Chains A and B, each alone.
Chain A
Amino acid sequence: MQDDDLDDEPCESSCYLLPVVAAAAGSLLLGYVYGRDAFRKDLVRAVRRMEQSPEPLEIHIRDGLGHA
């Protein structure tokens, strides 16, 4: 049968590599979007705190590399 024939074909390394690369690329993109959104939300929260504070205050927001 044709299906059996396909199953019997030897899979090259690209068969295994492609899903890994695709998953990595997708995750990178999702992580980038989520990280961008998370930092933006942190900024908004910091601004809200500054606006609501009766006294001047200093807020440090760290990026992923620990830069304040």
Chain B
Amino acid sequence: MRDERLHPVSQALPLLLSAGAAALVGYQLGRMAVRARRTGVTSIAPADDEIDPTDLRNAALTYRPIGAPGEPYPPWVRALKGKSGVYVIRETQRDGSEVIVYVGESHTDRLYHTLTRHFQTWRRSKKFWIGQYGGQGHDPGLTYARARVTVAVRVMPTHRAIEEESRLIARLHPRDNLLGQPTDDLEEAIPF
């Protein structure tokens, strides 16, 4: 009687081919799934009003106005309450140019308060600042006109905020930050 059994290689070939093709398709589907979820298939950059500040940790800095004096802060600023992260303040100069003036951070979930103190129009009593911002009792002092600034924020876990602030200061050279500028590192590196 004739043995109609297929050769083992012939038996395995369709199996291997189909498995390989399926793995390849699955691989591409997996990549596309993450891409679609993380970035959106059609548009990588969402519209400004679609941006949730909590998603900005690894995104490019997006500068947005914070409203006129006396107005309530926009929702994206109010959403920073109870969060940690870094902020970058950019100011429009008289000649129309934009200058990054300050980079700050909060690693104690007070990002909203730390940011908005730069736009206060009154000065608090000296006692108010005791225990805040380093515990030295200093009035932070640096305030900016709300109408002339735009602000970018990155919300991130508390342990990353200080490191990110240092990195942004070194990268952006904000005008009003005294500490963390590259020259400080240079001076520290040269002990004489």
A contacts, CB < 8 Å to B = 16, 19-21, 23-40, 43, 47, 50-51, 54-56, 61, 63-65, 67
**Known contacts A24-B22, A27-B23; is-contact A39 B15 (Cβ 8 Å):** no
**Known contacts A31-B25, A32-B27, A64-B27; is-contact A39 B18 (Cβ 8 Å):** no
Q: Interface SS of chain B: helix, strand, loop or mixed?
A: helix
Whether A34 and B27, one on each chain, are in contact in the complex, defined by CB atoms closer than 8 angstroms, is yes
Complex Cα distance, B29 from A28, in Å, reads: 9
- From residue B192, how far is it (CB to closest CB) to chain A in Å? 27
**Chain B residues whose C-beta falls within 8 Å of the C-beta of A54 in the assembled complex:** 170-171
Which bracket fits the contact residues of B? 20 to 34
Q: Which residue of B lies closest to A56 (CB)?
A: B60
**Chain B residues whose C-beta falls within 8 Å of the C-beta of A55 in the assembled complex:** 171
- From residue B171, how far is it (CB to closest CB) to chain A in Å? 6
Complex Cα distance, B38 from A25, in Å, reads: 26
Whether B19 and A24, one on each chain, are in contact in the complex, defined by CB atoms closer than 8 angstroms, is yes
| Known contacts A43-B38, A55-B171; 4 further A-B pairs (Cβ under 8 A) | A21-B18, A24-B22, A32-B27, A67-B41
**Chain B residues whose C-beta falls within 8 Å of the C-beta of A51 in the assembled complex:** 58, 164, 167
Q: Which residue of A lies closest to B6 (CB)?
A: A16
> CB within 8 A of B15: which of A19, A30, A35, A67?
A19
Chain B CB count within 10 A is highest, among A33, A36, A37, A65, for A36
